Amino acid sequence: MRPIGFSTGAVAKGDFRRALEVMAPFRLPAVELSALRLHELPRLVEASEELNLAGYKYVSVHAPSHFAPADEEQVVSWLTELAALGWFVVLHPDVIFRDELWLEFGDRLLIENSDKRKPTGRTADEMKLLFERLPGARFCFDVGHARQVDPTMNEAYLILQCCGPRLCQVHISEVNFFSRHDPLSSGAIEATRRIAHLVPEHVPVIVETLIDKGQSTIEAELHRAVDALRPTLPIAV
Amino acid sequence: MARDEMTSESDLDWTLLLDKPVDPADLPTTQRIASKIYAAKFAEPGKTNIFGTMTFSHSLVHDIGGPDDTNANTTRRILLLLESYAPAGREAYDRVRRHILHRYVEDDYGLSFGSGQKVVPRFLLNDLSRYWRSVTVDFVQKQRADAGGKWALRNAKLRMSRKLIFAAGLLVCFECHLDPDAESARLDLRDPRGGTARLIQYLEQRFSVPPLEILARSVRRHARPETARLLFDNYDAFLSLMDNHEQRAVLKSLEPGQARTSEVFVQVREISHGFQEGLTRLFFRDNPEIYSLTEFYGVF
């Protein structure tokens, strides 16, 4: 059974405590604590030791998606505290300004492939270069980003082929034309199935579908995510 | 821009490629583009309305074959792959091309489920062949519709640049089976956990260069030096002729009945015979593997 969970930011934007409360009844094995906005990170660090995460087998934190180079050292310092708790750190590659600051995370750092707005991390070739810079890092595969960059899922396949051995976590959602995380459509489910066989069963899946305004429900999105990651093996000759 | 072969006399076939939600503002955008192009003194596209307008990705991707795959749709699709250029913003352009190649490969069950050893994308090859035959038949239709007007110029292009497009497309299909650079793509097709992604990537890379470069790459690997000379010396002569204002003007106004006695057209004919001889040697004589593929896939 694939470990699956939700991003707190998808459940209750900017309110990780509330999100954890909403998610608690579902007893999900995985959770990603969202600190996508810079001001959320120190709050999360302050609260980290008192949060009840005992039921979760897998915990990660999503680093801020935007900050200035001048803030990088502070961000790394905060994230280091969270990594020391055993949390994995999910990071967008376009906010890596000084590689040496991130080397210390080793395999606790998960570099995520990017959506089409970003200048790097969108393709297999770009991911390869990133892992050459941070060879100890692992990989968070964002299905929605990959599909937005290439709806045929060709690039997703190539990314998983090259970065698969580093795969530590999967993000799943539908990333729409405006780079917003929508509920999974049938098209997104069908597309994800094409590469599902390349995602090992033990890799945790974090649902990023925004449900904070009632766009969908936790149950519905969990079902869709499980459905999407049911492999349809491609050709057999 | 005309397969990187643009001459001083070339016209400009353009389209606004749309791969997005529909918007009524798309038409005024297209009209603004048109007025800027014509203000730059490029000739307006031909009367067929294949270019000089909007093109929606939906038809290019979804209508491959079938009653909705019109002559215009096929032409736009093949030329998008083989001779187009995106002067600004490649995102939609690359995405649509990949979608089209994805269709050709994914829907080609022979590639995925066939028992044959050859990896030649037959769906794509057949569409290329269909395009080429349509061009040759449409040549006669235009000859009739225009009462012979521009016949000689069209004839020259048919013998050379249009034929080159087909030959280049055919070679890309054959190289899927022959090219060492496509080995990982071939292996993936045979791997139950593999797929078509690498073959699609290979096709994208091959179609990213102009037809003359496609031809050159295959000639370097599979043909004799004399064949190379026949092909490229004659094509170079053709481009020089097309770039010559006086000679092009002769071809524009030449009537079919005057072709035999026209010095310019005789020259076109000789050039095209040399080019054809080069293609015949490349596909049928110089290399047994190419010959075998041509024999198997080229007719039926």
Q: What is the pLDDT along chain B (300 residues), one digit of tens a residue?
A: 666 777 777 778 899 999 998 999 999 999 999 999 888 888 777 777 889 999 999 999 999 999 999 999 999 999 999 999 998 888 899 999 999 999 999 999 999 888 888 999 999 999 999 999 999 999 999 888 888 778 999 999 999 999 999 999 999 999 999 999 999 999 999 888 889 999 999 999 999 999 999 999 999 999 999 999 999 999 999 999 999 999 999 999 998 888 889 999 999 999 999 999 999 999 999 999 999 999 999 988
The rounded Cα B10 to chain-centroid distance in angstroms is: 17
How far apart are alpha carbons A122 and B118 in whole angstroms? 33
Cβ within 8 Å, pair B112-A234: yes
For chain A, the 3-state helix, strand and coil shares in percent, each to the nearest 5, are 45, 15, 40
How far apart are alpha carbons A203 and A3 in whole angstroms? 7
Angle, to 10 degrees, between the axis of helix A186-196 and the axis of helix A154-163? 40
Interface of B with A in 78-107 (CB under 8 A): 91, 95, 98-99, 102
Distance from CA of B105 to the nearest CA of A (A): 11
Helical (H) or strand (E) element with A91: strand A88-91
Domains belonging to chain A, first-starting first, are 4-228 (3.20.20.150)
Token digits for A138? 């692992």
**Burial of residue B274 (number of CB atoms within 10 Å: 0-12, 13-18, 19+):** middle
Prediction ipTM score: 0.79
Cβ within 8 Å, pair A116-B91: yes
Token digits for A135? 């060879």
Q: Considering only CB atoms, which chain B residues are within 8 Å of A117?
A: none
> What pTM was computed for the model?
0.88
* Residue span of the structural domain in which B267 resides: 2-297
How far apart are alpha carbons B70 and A185 in whole angstroms? 31
Give the nearest chain B residue to A236 (CA atoms): B192
Of B113, B114, B193, the CB nearest to A233: B193
Positions in chain A whose pLDDT score sits under 50: 235-237
**Number of independent structural domains in chain B:** 1
Model confidence pLDDT, tens digit, residues B116-136: 889 999 999 999 999 999 999
Closest CA to B59 of B67, B195, A207: B67
